[in-house]
Chain A
Amino acid sequence: MQVPILKQGSYLIASIQSSLTDSDLCQLRDALVGQVGRFRARGVIIDVTPLDVMDSFAVRTLRDLAHMTRLRGSETVIVGIQPEVAFAMVQLGLTLRGISTALDLEEGLAFLDSRTDEAHGRD
């Protein structure tokens, strides 16, 4: 199941629709890292609302994805983690350290806006 990637202004939004296999995740990672450059995106939002499980592979892939996009000049924020999923993750020690998270898509957009504003301010 492929994850649709939408372009919204200078952001890319990957909206996960159903549970993903490991290869789906890798595909998503590769697609996003590629498209960040092509669309000159300043930020990436990954919406994981439908996921009711986050295993270590998923967490690692998302973390790698965030680091890779950052290297290519774009901030990644993961949105829509369910409360139960969040608690299960920390109990398993999967804490997404160093990766930005937000409550939902709206929050994610607001977060990226504030981040890019800061960046503009520095320019």
Chain B
Amino acid sequence: MAAKEERSVWGGAARPVERSQPASESTATLLRELVAHLRQQRTVLREEWARRITEARLLTAMTEEEVFAEATSVYDNYVEALETGTFEALQAYARDLSERIIPRGVETHEVVGIVLLLRDVLARSLFAKYREDFAKLDRILDAYEPAANSIANTVAVGFVQERERVIRQQQEAIRELSTPVLQVRERLLILPIIGVIDPQRARQLTEQLLQAIRTNRAKVVVIDITGVAAMDKAVANHLVQTVEASRLLGATVIVTGLSPEIAQTLVTIGVDLSEMATVGDLQGGIEEAERLLGYQVSDIKEVSQKS
């Protein structure tokens, strides 16, 4: 009965455990024995694991002490998950761990790598312990392997999910910071664009700009793309569309700050730029805009000298 319950916890991956063994040696019993062994060998195995992590040049973003401290708590959580057969605690720990190490630049392959290393270290110690009794080793591994695989899976999935959550959060932040439309003078707006433009952001940008043209009654808009590193065809076309749409609202658009790379891309992919006024940098763009609006900026001293 107990064996059946355990198997359902470990999922379908478990191989049949009750092939030839007596009923007293159910998976649960074996795991208990296993856990006792791992607890007993905790210090040695933990050190061995930390050593192999360093050897494999994983977690290079962390100091050796940190690696050892994390290794200890991962080890304990690992053994506990083996013992209880439930992953909630481990899942929570993996999420927490990921939260701490993702900002430090730890990669997915490193996390998967260390968990697999731990699995190997523990399996080796089991080989060493049961090498006399091959049948028993076989049964122990039958109990250990599916559990270990599920644990590795849980940790890896937890890490990737956390990573994705971070990415989503950052995208959200970028979107919010995204696009200020600023009025520099009466009827003159500037729209500095910084960062990557994806189609969704481009769309949002256009909507904001067109609304701003209407509410501020803008005549001239300077779009500055100095902070944009790259641009693909879809986004370039979108930019051209934005220029056209602004013109339909009676505003002239001046695009400034095209980097050499973007200029090359735009010409190579053949976007029609004939309708687009471009000026080298933001300063030039604003000067051009002022000229269009009929402003003239002059030095106060010079003006007073002349008069």
Contact = CB atoms under 8 A, between A and B. Distances in A.
A103 B250 contact: yes
B182 interface: no
- Chain B residues touching A, majority SS: helix
Given A86-B245, A87-B206, A102-B250, 5 more contacts: A79-B250, A84-B210, A86-B249, A87-B245, A97-B275
A107 interface: yes
B59 interface: no
Interface residues of B, number: 19
A83 B213 contact: yes
Contacts, number: 52
A85 B207 CA distance: 11
Contacts of B219: 107
A97 B276 CA distance: 12
8 contacts: A79-B250, A83-B211, A87-B206, A87-B241, A90-B242, A95-B248, A103-B214, A103-B249
A103 B220 CA distance: 12
A115 to B, nearest CB: 13
Contacts of A102: 250
B241 A101 contact: no
A54 to B, nearest CB: 9
Given A86-B210, A87-B206, A87-B207, A81 B249 contact: yes
Contacts of B275: 97
Contact of A107 (B217, B242, B244): B217
Contacts of A104: 217
A83 B249 contact: yes
The 6 A-B pairs at the shortest CB distance, nearest first, are namely A83-B210, A102-B250, A86-B248, A86-B245, A103-B250, A90-B241
B245 A89 contact: yes
Nearest to A111: B250
Interface of B: 206-207, 210-211, 213-214, 217, 219, 241-242, 244-251, 275
Contacts of B248: 81, 85-86, 89-90, 95-96, 101
Which residue of A83, A91, A96, A102 has the most chain B CB atoms within 10 A of its CB atom? A83
Interface in A44-89: 79, 81, 83-87, 89
Contact of B214 (A83, A90, A108): A83
B188 to A, nearest CB: 14
Contacts of A111: 250
Contact of A83 (B207, B217, B244): B207
Nearest to B215: A83
Contacts of A107: 217, 219, 250
Contact of A87 (B210, B217, B250, B251): B210
Contacts of A101: 247-250
